[in-house]
Amino acid sequence: DLEKQTIIGTIECGSEILMGCISEQEEYIVLTTALKHLEVFLLSTREKIASVKLEKKCSAMETRLFKETEYLIIGDKVGDIMAFDLPKLGKKTFLIGHCATVITGLVNVGDYLASSDRDEKVFICHFPQTFNIQSICVGHKQYISAMITVNDRIVTGSADGT
């Protein structure tokens, strides 16, 4: 359990690290860099095990376990959301696109994937059949700046202060 461990060591990516996440099964750390690289490291040894060059900068990331397969889900600066298989990043699958220019957040809620954007909306889609949109949540007057889940409920924050 990661809460009971102290991780000692350094991981080098070769350029500025923009964001990262730890896989749901706590085996891998995934980092994205300013040079649009997506890199996967084995958490126990910090050994790099996969790397891919993205077409656009990553703006949100989340991991998801589905039918015994772990996925890395990323949103990019043009509003597209893709899934990669972990840990090898060998298969890239387009999930859904937003009309907004930037995906600002991704969270898992039960059988759903929630994604937020710069157009004040949160999309709730079935995973992995993200073409099946459950709902679109609106109400903020400016872009969604933060999104988390608490007890299977989505909590959002916005640049409008709400």
Q: How far is 73 from 94, CA to CA, in rounded Å?
A: 10
Query: Residue 66 forms beta bridges with which residues?
Result: 69
Nearest to 128 by CA among 88, 93, 86: 93
Q: Above 80 in pLDDT, residue 82?
A: yes
Look at the alpha carbons of 162, 126, 43, 17 in this order and tell me if their dihedral is positive or negative.
negative
Contacts of 64 (CB under 8 A, 6+ apart): 24, 70, 71, 73, 83, 108, 113, 127
CB–CB of 44/9 below 8 Å?
Answer: no
More reliable by pLDDT, 10 or 48: 48
In this predicted structure, what is the pLDDT of residue 32? 92
Q: Above 70 in pLDDT, residue 4?
A: no
More reliable by pLDDT, 103 or 70: 70
Q: Above 70 in pLDDT, residue 31?
A: yes
Nearest to 153 by CA among 122, 128, 120, 131: 122
Look at the alpha carbons of 101, 116, 80, 71 in this order and tell me if their dihedral is positive or negative.
positive
Task: Kindly indicate the confidence band of residue 121, based on its pLDDT and cuts at 50, 70 and 90.
Answer: confident
